[in-house]
């Protein structure tokens, strides 16, 4: 099925690092994994040997062995402590004078993404998809106004909680192009399971192109059908919650739809962005993602077709 | 064994009976238009023989989850822009006992759908029916018309301010913090 | 003041013994039937009820776990919706922590501690009855909530703002917060009771350096309860106030602090893990000593490790909060503390290994469970070390890796020893042995089922599967391992079922156990199985760490306690030298009535703050009746003290 592949190529694993920070954590993981595995095997071997053994050991010898084992434990822990602190410092050292600044706001249950720019008109707002240039540090400001969410792209970095009242900051960098899946990692209500997003790492040139395209207002409806869809969108309930730059729709409750058609997924990484899924989502979002804030609509099939034509034009 | 089974059945029935409307969470929304059988009267004056008073229940009047959804929508759709958090300002207060256009669920629904003279806009066709019923349920709690146990408590949903304990996020190394306002 | 006289047992005539027995039975009698249920203050009856009730909650929590596993077996399954699933995982966690693990550990202590230290009851028998009833009320409240679709659904950790008034409408979270209050009152009361009993009622000769390791573990746990539980009582009270009377403790928009909840909660929540698992360490020591018939290697390091765990356990709560963005230095401190706690745990493991080394132990069911404990707990401990590291924790925090980790620690560290401990002590409680065949079968089912369920979860977590999701997309590729885990959960459930069948069967068909079926060392094995209501005909004295192994032929026994009223010997704290006598109250209904009053107060307060005012009336009445002076008894003691 085509839509399966659409989401499937997104990486989503802590063991497949695509950025310097995930790589450092990966190294730490493998260090700890091998040492801990060795310790486990040694302890189990000692247990087995002790059970098989028939003669009583000399008390003094046992004292020495146990003391030695405790000292060895402490030494291993010291190694871990240093490795961990070193990794922590390395994670914090990523910075740049010229980062891409992004503000990510967690909502129940989707991600609002805003590319910050000193010039207000240059800002770009999108949702559930973060494009980043490869090899350049990204500064992510994290904000939440409802409950605690946690921003997590396993291939790039560990988690960072979005706590209401605490604005946070996180630095990321991707070293190779690819699409990496991220997901909310702090329980945030009924649809915590369906609160994902994609990080699209691409070459700086492509990123610049994408950003420039996103800065444009929505292209005007190209066909009469799309024009009717536009009218429906603005007149009906859609515009109360959604913004489409360049039209009268400027609701701030739901995701910004100015460039909806350029995104890969719908409903926070839940569905691939195809007209069929979009139609299903508009008509009956509660079956696909129960309790999400998007209400059902009762559009006739003609109206729905017009609306889809309009939305499809929002490249 | 039979006695045990009977006991368990009785217990299950009791629980089923107790399972209250307050805690239900119905995510599937109502059918688009809930038909209105008969207009709700705003006055007791009637010509001729008086007909029995009708007061329709809203579908969500006792449902805590729907009421809290209504509270969210009340703020997000900017009802609070005129009515504030019930105290009124540009629009009339909603937390007192005075109802210009009636306090029955159907009255409040009509007020939202059809609008009222002197400034209350009509939201019919813009806000889906289901959400209007939720807002209606919330509005009734403002003046204590809903069951107390289902009422929402204070709201967290104002713009979150930074906590007093919150330390400022470290300024990005290598440059001054930018405040692109 | 009368110091207990010491008399050689050999000279006591048979007839005198029988007469003494009759009198003790008359004095320490428990009423039968429903009245007995409501009024009994015997620590053995209450301990058994604790264990039984906690096992019922264990079964309920297990059923919830199985339902969740069924839902997660396939991606995008539609068996259980998000609303129901959130209630299930919240109630599962709350049940296992508050209604199963802590009560059953303290319940085992309630039953065993007086027997192990050679006394007749706990220091405060009525308080003991009260704490049981309060615990039952808390459990009933939570499950009444779940069955009426009012089950809490904000997670067992109930993070604000999600659990706050704006995002958890209805009464679901209030029920959770009050359930916490009930179980905390109950645990605190048991802890105070155990501490006092262990400090003041030990058999003469059982100086602190001769206290059995199990009793040490109960003592450390009780102290941890006393210091940890107030934190969660405080924060659950603040949450209840936020929800009920609109305070702003956790409301960020009014200067409240969402992180404050996490600090308070985990300041309790992390020690909670050790509260659950330290008593289990005591069970492991008992079982190993009995199976090898050896003294546990390194008594002093073992005790020091328990105490050290108790202290360090309070210093690492922040490792649950690494992802909230802590300053580097603070995080490093908590990393160091989290790693440090591996040292006392490791020390104990090594000491047990040294005890087992070349001992040719008897491979009975209890020992099998202890060996299973080694396997599982060592894995859990090692992944715990990984989680203590901030960078690694950032990746695996709140994923299935953590789910795997804490089930390895809690099931491995507490449930395996507990099942071993139940196999070990049930013969003492019921007088009949369990079937070894079924015991082995249940062990292998539990062991295999457990590992099949939880080992794949490590991998799932590293592949990015977050916790507390009610479903997941097929493209994530998590389906196969989840299916495997569900199959394992079925095997695990079957194993527990076999264990229960075995225990029930033993009640009727079990071989008679005799006083000491294992050749173990502690005092409970010196009395009959099940023990009489007064525990010991004459209170024993102790000549060494391993009371029964070090018993001499002419070991003295305590005499001089009156048998026509409930007298207990009080000894001093360090050396357990006889100090004076204390008279305990007999069966009474008032603890039950007070518990009902407390339950009424808290449940009413969920709906209306006036509940506290109204509920104060029955509570006050019950308390007055409870503490109504029983003149003659108190006067007697005073008179004796003067003379």
Least confident range from B1-15, C154-168, C362-376, C395-409: namely B1-15
Q: Which residue of C has its CA nearest to A15?
A: C462
Range A146-169 average pLDDT:
91
CATH number (3.40.50.2020, 1.10.10.10, 2.60.40.420, 1.10.760.10) of A224-312 reads: 2.60.40.420
- Is the model's pLDDT at B12 over the cut of 70? no
* B94: pLDDT strictly greater than 70: yes
Predicted confidence at residue C291, as pLDDT, reads: 93
Residues of C in contact with B160 (CB under 8 A): 252-253
Of the listed ranges C149-163, C244-258, C609-623, the one predicted with least confidence: C244-258
Antiparallel, parallel or unpaired: β A168-172 and A138-144: antiparallel
pLDDT attached to residue C7: 45
pLDDT band at C564 (very low <50, low <70, confident <90, very high): confident
pLDDT confidence band for C642 (50 / 70 / 90): very low
State the average pLDDT over residues A208-212.
93
Instruction: Spell out which residues of chain A touch residue B77, defining contact as CB-CB under 8 Å.
Output: 240
Distance from CA of A253 to the nearest CA of B (A): 7
| pLDDT at residue C73, rounded to an integer | 94
Give residue limits of the domains in chain B: 65-145
Burial pattern C437-465, b for ≥16 Cβ within 10 A else e, equals ebbbbbbebbbebbbbbbbbbbbbbbbbb
ipTM score of complex? 0.93
Q: Does B27 touch chain C (CB under 8 A)?
A: yes
Interchain CB contacts (distance < 8 Å): A and B: 73
Q: In what order do the strands lie in the sheet with A196-202?
A: A129-133, A196-202, A178-183
Question: How far apart are the CA of C317 and the nearest CA of chain B, in angstroms?
Answer: 19
Q: Say whether pLDDT at B173 is over 50.
A: no
Contact of C81 with chain A, judged by CB distance below 8 Å, is answered with yes
Q: Are C529 and C486 in contact (CB under 8 A)?
A: no
Q: What is the pLDDT of residue B162?
A: 52
pLDDT confidence tier of residue B17, bands split at 50, 70 and 90: low
Identify the band that residue A301 occupies on the pLDDT scale cut at 50, 70 and 90.
Answer: confident
pLDDT (0 to 100) of residue C327: 80
Express each pLDDT in C506-548 by its tens digit.
Answer: 998 888 988 899 989 999 999 998 999 999 988 999 998 998 8
Q: Which residues of B touch C252 (CB under 8 A)?
A: 156, 160-163
The pLDDT assigned to A40 comes to 95
Best C336, C340, C473, C481 residue to mutate vs chain A (most A CBs within 10 Å): C473
Please report, for residues B87, C379, C604, the alpha-carbon distance to residue C607 in angstroms, rounded to integers and kept in the order given: 25, 45, 6
Contact A66 C354 (CB under 8 A): yes
Which residue from A154, A146, A61, A66 is spatially nearest to A110, judged by alpha carbons? A146
Please state, for a pLDDT cut of 70, what percent of chain A lies above it. 97
pLDDT at A314 over 80: yes
Mean pLDDT on B22-37: 66
Question: What is the structure's pLDDT at B84?
Answer: 84
**Beta carbons of B6 and B48 less than 8 angstroms apart:** no
Q: Which tokens go with C595? A: 């518990």
Q: Which of C149, C172, C264, C324 to mutate to test the interface with B (most CBs of B within 10 A)?
A: C149
CB-based contact, C335 to chain A, within 8 Å: yes
pLDDT score recorded for residue C183: 93
Residues in chain B closer than 8 A to C84 (CB atoms): none
C-beta of residue C262 within 8 angstroms of C-beta of residue C498: no
pLDDT exceeds cutoff 80 at C9: no
Task: Give mean pLDDT, residues C361-368.
Answer: 93
Q: Report the residue of A298, A299, A300, A303 to disrupt the B interface, i.e. the one with the largest count of B CBs within 10 Å.
A: A298
For residue C6, give the H/E element and its range.
strand C5-7
A13-34 average pLDDT score: 92
Q: What percent of chain C has pLDDT over 70?
A: 96
Contact criterion met (CB < 8 Å) for B23 and C164: no
In this prediction, residue B181 has a pLDDT band, given cuts at 50, 70 and 90, of: very low
Q: C388 or B169: whose pLDDT is higher?
A: C388
For residue B96, give how far its alpha carbon lies from the nearest alpha carbon of chain A (Å). Answer: 29
Q: How many CA atoms lie within 13 A of C203 on its CB side?
A: 35
Half-sphere exposure of C520 (CA within 13 A, CB side): 31
Closest C-alpha among B135, B114, B128, B110 to residue A298 = B128
Please say whether the structural domain B65-145 has been given the CATH code 3.40.50.1100: no
pLDDT of residue B32: 52
């Amino acid at each position: 099925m085509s839509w399966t592949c659409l989401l499937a190529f997104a990486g989503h694993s802590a063991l497949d690092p695509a950025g310097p920070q995930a790589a450092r954590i990966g190294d730490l993981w493998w260090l700890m994994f091998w040492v801990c595995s060795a310790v486990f095997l040694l302890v189990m071997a000692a247990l087995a040997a002790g059970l098989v053994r028939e003669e009583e050991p000399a008390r003094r010898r046992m004292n020495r062995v146990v003391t030695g084992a405790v000292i060895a434990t402490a030494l291993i822990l010291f190694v871990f402590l240093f490795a961990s602190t070193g990794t922590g410092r390395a994670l914090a050292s990523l910075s740049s004078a010229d980062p891409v600044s992004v503000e990510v706001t967690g909502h129940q249950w989707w991600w609002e993404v805003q590319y910050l720019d000193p010039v207000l008109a240059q800002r770009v707002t999108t949702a559930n998809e973060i494009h980043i240039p490869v090899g350049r540090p990204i500064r992510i400001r994290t904000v939440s106004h409802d409950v605690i969410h946690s921003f997590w792209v396993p291939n790039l970095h560990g988690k960072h909680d979005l706590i209401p009242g605490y604005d946070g900051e996180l630095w990321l960098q991707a070293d190779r192009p690819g699409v990496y899946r991220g997901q909310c990692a702090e329980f945030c209500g009924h649809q915590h399971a369906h609160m994902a997003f994609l990080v699209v790492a691409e070459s700086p040139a492509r990123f610049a192109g994408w950003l420039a395209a996103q800065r444009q207002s929505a292209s005007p409806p190209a066909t009469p059908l799309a024009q009717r869809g536009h009218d429906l969108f603005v007149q009906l309930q859609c515009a109360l919650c959604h913004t489409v730059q360049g039209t009268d729709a400027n609701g701030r409750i739901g995701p910004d739809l100015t460039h909806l058609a350029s995104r890969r997924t719908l409903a926070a990484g839940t569905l691939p962005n195809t007209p069929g899924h979009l139609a299903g989502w508009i008509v009956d979002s509660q079956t696909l993602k129960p309790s999400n804030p998007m209400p059902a609509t009762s559009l006739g099939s003609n109206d729905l077709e017009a609306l889809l034509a309009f939305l499809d034009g929002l490249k | 064994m039979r006695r045990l089974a009977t006991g368990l059945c009785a217990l299950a029935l009791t629980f089923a009976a107790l399972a209250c409307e307050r805690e239900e969470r119905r995510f599937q929304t109502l059918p688009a238009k809930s038909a209105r059988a008969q207009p709700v009267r705003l006055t007791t004056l009637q010509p001729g023989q008086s007909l029995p008073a009708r007061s329709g229940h809203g579908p969500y009047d006792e449902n805590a989850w729907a009421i809290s959804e209504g509270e969210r929508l009340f703020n997000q759709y900017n009802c609070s822009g005129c009515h504030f958090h019930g105290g009124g300002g540009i629009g009339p207060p909603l937390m007192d006992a005075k109802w210009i256009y009636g306090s029955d669920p159907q009255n409040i629904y009509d007020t939202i759908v059809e609008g009222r003279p002197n400034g209350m806009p009509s939201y019919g066709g813009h806000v889906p029916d289901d959400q209007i019923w939720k807002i209606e349920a919330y509005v009734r709690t403002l003046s204590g018309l809903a069951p107390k146990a289902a009422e929402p408590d204070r709201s967290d949903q104002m713009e979150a301010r930074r906590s007093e304990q919150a330390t400022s996020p470290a300024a990005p190394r290598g440059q001054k913090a930018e405040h692109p306002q | 003041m009368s110091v207990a006289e010491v008399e050689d047992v050999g000279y006591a005539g048979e007839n005198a013994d029988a007469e003494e027995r009759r009198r003790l039975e008359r004095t320490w009698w428990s009423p039968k039937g429903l009245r007995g249920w409501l009024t009994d203050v015997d620590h053995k009856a209450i301990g058994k009820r604790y264990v039984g009730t906690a096992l019922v909650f264990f079964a309920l929590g297990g059923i919830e776990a199985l339902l969740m596993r069924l839902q997660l077996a396939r991606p995008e399954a539609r068996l259980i919706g998000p609303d129901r699933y959130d209630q299930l995982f919240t109630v599962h966690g709350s049940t296992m922590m508050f209604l199963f693990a802590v009560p059953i550990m303290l319940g085992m202590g309630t039953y065993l501690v007086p027997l192990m230290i050679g006394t007749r009851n706990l220091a405060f028998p009525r308080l003991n009855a009260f704490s049981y009833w309060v615990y039952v009320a808390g459990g009933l409240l939570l499950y009444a909530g779940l069955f009426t679709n009012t089950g809490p659904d904000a997670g067992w950790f109930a993070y604000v703002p999600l659990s706050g008034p704006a995002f958890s409408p209805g009464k679901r979270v209030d029920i959770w917060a009050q359930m916490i209050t009930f179980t905390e009152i109950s645990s605190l009361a048991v802890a105070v009771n155990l501490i006092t009993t262990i400090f003041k009622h030990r058999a003469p000769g059982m100086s602190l350096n001769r206290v059995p390791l199990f009793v040490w573990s109960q003592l450390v746990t009780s102290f941890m309860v006393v210091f940890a539980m107030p934190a969660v009582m405080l924060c659950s009270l603040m949450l209840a106030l936020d929800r009920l009377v609109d305070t702003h403790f956790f409301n960020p928009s009014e200067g409240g602090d969402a992180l404050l909840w996490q600090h308070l909660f985990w300041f309790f929540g992390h020690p909670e893990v050790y509260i659950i698992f330290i008593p289990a360490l005591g069970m492991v020591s008992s079982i190993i000593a009995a199976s090898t018939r050896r003294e546990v290697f390194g008594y002093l390091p073992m005790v020091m490790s328990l105490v050290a765990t108790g202290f360090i356990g309070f210093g690492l709560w922040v490792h649950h909060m690494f992802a909230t963005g802590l300053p580097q230095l603070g995080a490093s401190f908590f990393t160091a503390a989290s790693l440090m706690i591996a040292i006392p745990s490791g020390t104990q493991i090594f000491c047990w290994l040294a005890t087992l080394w070349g001992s040719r132990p008897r491979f009975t069911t209890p020992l099998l469970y202890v060996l299973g404990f080694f396997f599982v707990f060592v894995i859990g401990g090692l992944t715990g070390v990984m989680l203590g590291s901030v960078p690694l924790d950032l990746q695996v925090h709140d994923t299935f890796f953590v789910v795997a980790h804490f089930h390895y620690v809690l099931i491995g560290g507490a449930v395996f020893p507990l099942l071993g401990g139940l196999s070990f002590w049930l013969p003492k409680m019921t007088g009949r042995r369990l079937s070894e065949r079924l015991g082995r079968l249940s062990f292998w089912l539990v062991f295999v089922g457990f590992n099949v369920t939880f080992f794949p979860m490590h991998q799932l977590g590293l592949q990015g599967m977050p916790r507390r999701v009610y479903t997941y997309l097929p493209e994530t590729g998590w389906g196969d391992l989840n299916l495997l885990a569900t199959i394992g959960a079925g095997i695990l459930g079957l194993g527990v079922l076999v264990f229960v069948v075995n225990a029930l069967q033993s009640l009727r068909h079990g071989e008679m156990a005799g006083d000491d079926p294992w050749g173990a060392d502690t005092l409970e094995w010196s009395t009959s199985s099940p023990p009489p209501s007064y525990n010991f005909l004459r209170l024993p004295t102790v000549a060494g760490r391993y009371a029964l192994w070090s018993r001499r032929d002419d070991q003295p026994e305590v005499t001089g306690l009156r048998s026509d009223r409930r007298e207990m010997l009080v000894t001093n704290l360090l050396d357990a030298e006889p100090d004076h006598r204390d008279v305990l109250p007999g069966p009474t209904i008032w603890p039950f009535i007070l518990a009902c009053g407390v339950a009424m107060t808290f449940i009413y307060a969920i709906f209306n703050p006036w509940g506290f005012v109204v509920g104060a009336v029955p509570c006050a009445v019950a308390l007055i009746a409870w503490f109504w002076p029983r003149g003659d008894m108190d006067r007697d003691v005073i008179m004796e003290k003067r003379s």
